[in-house]
Structures are given as C-alpha cells and as structure tokens.
Structure 1
Amino acid sequence: MQARITNTAVSPELQQAVNLLYKSAHSAGVPNATLELVHLRASQINGCSPCVDAGARAMRKAGETDDRLFAVAAWRETPYFTDAERSALALAEAATRLADKADAVPDDIWDAAAKHFSEAELSAIVLWIATTNFFNRINATTRQQAPQNWG
C-alpha cells in the first residue's frame, strides 16, 4: 500500500495547531506515561500503524518496559497497569469507539477516571484522545505507513 499524500504536505498552520494541542494536553499534570498509553491504545483500535509504531518506540525510549508495551491491547487481563492508567485506558477505548453503543462513554467509565484525575487532567486526557483520533484518521485516510527502519 502506498501513501496517498506525504505528511510533509501538511500546511504549516495545521502543524502549529497540532503543536498547540500537544502542548495543552501535556501541560495539565497527567503523567506522560498515561498519555502515551492512551495514545497507543487508541491508535491500536484505529489500526494506525505510524502512530502505533511511533508511540511504542517513544515509550520504549522513555524507559517503558516491554511487559507493559506488549500488553496494552490486553490491559484488562494483565497486572502491569495502575488503577489510574486502567481508568484512562478505558476512557480512551470508549471515546475512540463512539459508534459502538448508544451511551458511548458511560458514567461508570467517566467516574472511574474522575477518581484518579482532576477536572483539568481529565480535560487533557480527553483532548489527547481526540488528538490521537485526529492523527489516526488522517493517517488512515492518506494510507500512511509505519517506517521500515527496524533493527
């Protein structure tokens, strides 16, 4: 599969807007590892290979363990994540799969996250989920590929 357009075709104005979203989401006090887990899980759901690849590589470079990286898709069945991370992952899944049920983000998922994160932190997590889904949709539509620079 070949990309339809290159990411370098993105306008400078759009790049500036994306940078502001990133800065906003990452300045609210949510642990970076939590935001990266949310990004990775939403990207897995959406099948965004460049985001899954870049997210996992960035997490590994930041010191994330292989146990946790390999288990993100099965986070419910593993002991590797904190309760706060689990609540953020559940929120990411629900907000990414909006069309899967009538009450896309039910109160129990929201309330679980609200036990661990302040309103400002929840806002940042929701913004980061939305931003990730934005990237995923652009990449899927334009058929962006994960780079083949393994090893």
Structure 2
Amino acid sequence: MTARTTRLAPGVRTAMQSLSAAAKRGLGDPALAELVQIRASQLNRCAFCLDMHVAIARKEGVSDRRLDLLAVWQEAGDGVYDERERAALALTEAVTVLTDGFVPDEVYETAAKHFDEAELAHLIALITVINGWNRLMVARRIPPGGPAW
C-alpha cells in the first residue's frame, strides 16, 4: 500500500505539533505520554504513529515487556502498570472509542483521582491530539517510517 498523499497543510501540522508538545509538557510524564499515544494508535490502527511512539517510548525507558503487553493492559496483571497508568489507559480507550457516545463517569472519576485538574486537562488534550494525528495518517495511508508530511 502506498501513501495517498504526503501533503499536510503547514498550518495544520504546526498547530497539531504545538498542541502535542503542550499536552505532553503539561502531563509531565514522558513515558506515560508515550503509553497513551501508543494505546490510542493501536486502537486506531495507525502504523505510522505506533511505530514512531514505540521508538520514543523505548528512548524514555519503557521496557519491552510493558510495550508488548500494552494491547492487553487490563489483563497484564499487577506490577506491569500502576493504578495511575491504568486510569490513563482506561481514559484513553474511552475517549478514543466513544462506544456509548461519551466517556463513562466511572472512567473519568477514576482518572480524576490520579491526576490533578491541570494534568487531567493535559491528558485529555494528549488523547485528543493523538486521535487526530492517527486519523490524519490513516486517511493518507502513511506507512511506518514513511514521510510524515
């Protein structure tokens, strides 16, 4: 499969990059930010973003075991992901999939127990922007390692 187009409007690219950077900074946990972006990219089947964020996660010190089990984080057992990470991953799935058209109160409330108001706002922004990136890359069929723009 080849890319449909490698063109992305420069203003859109700049805005998305700025939003991504601000969300990551505000979350303050680079490894968790990568886990969140990887999980959303898995759900959205975005090979480009998955490839990129797995490589970044490794640079941030995320172990191969945690990366290997991320798709099944709920079944991974104790000791693989802590409660804060589990809350972030549950929120990632709820925001990404929106099965019932909204994020369930229980998922949001659990996340709110582990993140202060500012962190939670940045986490939701990060989930939202990676979903946007996923859709941009999947719609254009940008392959792993392919041209981002």
Q: How far 1:69 sits from its partner (Å)?
A: 0.4
For residues 102-117 of structure 1, the aligned pairs below 5 Å read 102=101, 104-117=102-115
Does the 8 Å contact 2:30/2:60 carry over to 1?
Answer: no
Query: Which of 21-30 and 86-95 deviates more?
Result: 21-30
- Number of aligned residues: 144
Q: How far 1:120 sits from its partner (Å)?
A: 0.7
User: Which residue in the other structure is 1:53 paired with?
Assistant: 51
Cα separation, 2, equivalents of 1:115 and 1:95: 17
For residues 122-141 of structure 1, the aligned pairs below 5 Å read 122-141=120-139
Runs of 5+ in structure 1 lacking a partner? none
For residues 1-151 of structure 1, the aligned pairs below 5 Å read 1-6=1-6, 9-78=7-76, 79=78, 80-98=80-98, 100-102=99-101, 104-147=102-145
Give the TM-score normalised by structure 2.
Answer: 0.91
Cα separation, 2, equivalents of 1:29 and 1:134: 18
The Cα RMSD (Å) is 1.3
Cα separation, 2, equivalents of 1:29 and 1:136: 20
Moved over 6 A (4+): none
| 3-state SS, counterpart of residue 27 of structure 1 | helix
Q: How far 1:61 sits from its partner (Å)?
A: 1.8
Give the TM-score normalised by structure 1.
Answer: 0.90
Does the 8 Å contact 2:40/2:92 carry over to 1?
Answer: yes
Q: How far 1:118 sits from its partner (Å)?
A: 0.7
Q: How far 1:15 sits from its partner (Å)?
A: 2.2
Does the 8 Å contact 1:28/1:124 carry over to 2?
Answer: yes
